[in-house]
């Protein structure tokens, strides 16, 4: 399908030092795009670019800082697709909402919510010029209301809310804004920090298994491609059938 091809599309992926971000970048490169991968982890994102070859280059960005995001936009020069993947997830302490440390709460909100806003602010002129697309990475945990994890769940719910607002504000310039909401996925972070990760929640899925990284990337490609040319303000849940909405 030619509409799924992203030949010469200019794509920016944040949080690309590993995990889903690296997988998104690899999928876009394979689809023919030129990808700028960005992360606060300079060594990790440089490794991603080296792995993916000549159609991928790296940059360091702090998504919570507008000047840093604006510098990234200036370095990109042009953008057809922005994938906002950077977020705090691995190692976040879990516990009752009454006991969440206020500093941890503020840090989660600063990265997971403010970071998406800052990147979209910085890249808005480029995306409006190209009539491009934004893919904001949310989480299916918003639908299940995962207990003991209110800071993360709340932050990803805000990503979905912001997606809907931006879709309406940027739509007149032809910019499509959608959210991708993966379920629990077997990334390095999940395998390192969750006991029995490969079995975690599989019994609740219609497909009776946990998601591999490869199961998620197709959603991002779809939302960025011509196949989704009339899709905006939506949340695509990719979780093997744990949630039905």
Q: Answer yes or no: 152 catalytic.
A: yes
Map tokens 């991928």 to a residue.
Answer: 56
Q: What pairs with residue 181 in β-bridges? A: 237
Q: What is the largest CA-CA distance in the chain?
A: 51
When computed from its CA atoms, the radius of gyration of the chain, rounded to whole angstroms, is 17
E strands in the chain: 10-14, 34-39, 56-60, 81-84, 133-137, 176-182, 235-238
How many Å separate Cα 189 from the centre of its chain? Answer: 15
H/E element, 141: helix 141-144
CA dihedral 237→24→194→107, nearest 10 degrees, is: -90
Marked catalytic residue, from 28, 123, 149, 152: 152
> What is the set of active-site residues?
152
């Amino acid at each position: 399908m030619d509409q799924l091809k992203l030949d010469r599309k200019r794509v920016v992926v944040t949080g690309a030092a590993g995990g889903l971000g690296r997988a998104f970048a690899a999928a876009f490169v394979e689809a023919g795009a030129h990808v700028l991968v960005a992360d606060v982890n300079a060594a990790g994102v440089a490794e991603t670019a080296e792995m993916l070859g000549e159609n991928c280059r790296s940059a360091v960005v702090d998504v919570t800082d507008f000047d840093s995001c604006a510098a990234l936009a200036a370095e990109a020069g042009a953008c057809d697709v922005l994938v906002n993947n950077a977020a705090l997830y691995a190692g976040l302490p879990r516990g009752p909402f009454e006991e969440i440390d206020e500093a941890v709460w503020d840090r989660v909100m600063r990265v997971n919510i403010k970071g998406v806003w800052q990147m979209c602010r910085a890249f808005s002129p480029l995306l409006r010029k190209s009539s491009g697309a934004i893919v904001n990475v949310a989480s299916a945990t918003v639908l299940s209301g995962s207990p003991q994890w209110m800071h993360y769940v709340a932050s990803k719910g805000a990503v979905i809310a912001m997606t809907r607002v931006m879709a309406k504000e940027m739509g007149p310039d032809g910019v499509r804004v959608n959210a991708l909401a993966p379920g629990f996925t077997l990334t390095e972070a999940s395998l390192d920090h969750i006991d029995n990760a490969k079995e975690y929640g599989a019994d609740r899925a219609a497909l009776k298994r946990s998601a591999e990284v490869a199961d998620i990337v197709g959603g991002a490609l779809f939302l960025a491609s011509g196949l989704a040319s009339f899709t905006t303000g939506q949340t695509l849940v990719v979780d093997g059938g744990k949630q039905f909405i």
